[in-house]
């Protein structure tokens, strides 16, 4: 079993910023960021990839941001959490002291007539 002082679930901008901040504040702590996607897009940058960026590849969150700031990047999916142990889809088990959830959000759809019609964007 692998042991970490701080584990961040979610490798998007919030998760990476959290891991970097944790490393800057506590440089001796062992930190891991777990994300399930091989490539992490920067969600707020998607409109720019359609206009001012040369392509979607310019909107990818670089993995070295985590690694060069003292963290381990784990590409896997968390299936279970119990007693400060995470069980991953690959079968790995990760023990932690502190856990941060930075898994994104689901937007609230206001009660506007027609939002439930077929063909709406999800």
Alpha carbons within 13 A on the beta-carbon side of 56: 4
**Which value, in Å, is the radius of gyration of the alpha carbons in the chain?**
17
Q: Is 101 exposed, middle or buried (0-12, 13-18, 19+ CB in 10 A)?
A: middle
Per residue of the chain (122 residues), give pLDDT as tens.
999 999 999 888 888 889 989 999 999 999 999 988 777 666 554 554 555 555 555 545 656 667 777 789 999 999 999 999 999 999 999 999 999 999 887 778 888 888 778 875 55
Instruction: Name the class of domain 7-101.
Output: alpha beta
| Beta strand residue intervals within 13-115, DSSP E | 31-35, 71-75, 78-82, 85-88, 93-101
Enumerate the domain spans of the chain. Answer: 7-101
Instruction: Give the pLDDT score at 87.
Output: 98
3-class DSSP string for 5-20: EEEEECCCHHHHHHHH
Instruction: Give the pLDDT score at 110.
Output: 84
State the Cα–Cα distance between residues 78 and 82, nearest whole angstrom: 11
In 26-88, which residue ranges form alpha helices assigned H by DSSP? 46-50, 64-67
pTM here is: 0.74
Instruction: Give the pLDDT score at 50.
Output: 56
């Amino acid at each position: 079993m692998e042991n970490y002082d701080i584990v961040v679930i979610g490798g998007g901008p919030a998760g990476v910023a959290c891991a970097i901040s944790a490393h800057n504040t506590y440089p001796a702590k062992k930190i891991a960021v777990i994300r399930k996607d091989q490539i992490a897009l920067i969600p707020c940058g998607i409109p720019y990839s359609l206009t001012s960026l040369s392509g979607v590849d310019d909107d990818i969150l670089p993995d070295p941001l985590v690694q060069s700031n003292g963290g381990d990047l784990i590409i896997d999916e968390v299936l279970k959490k119990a007693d400060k142990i995470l069980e991953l889809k690959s079968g790995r088990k990760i023990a932690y002291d502190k856990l941060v959830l930075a898994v994104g959000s689901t937007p609230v759809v206001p009660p506007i007539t027609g939002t439930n019609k077929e063909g709406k964007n999800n």
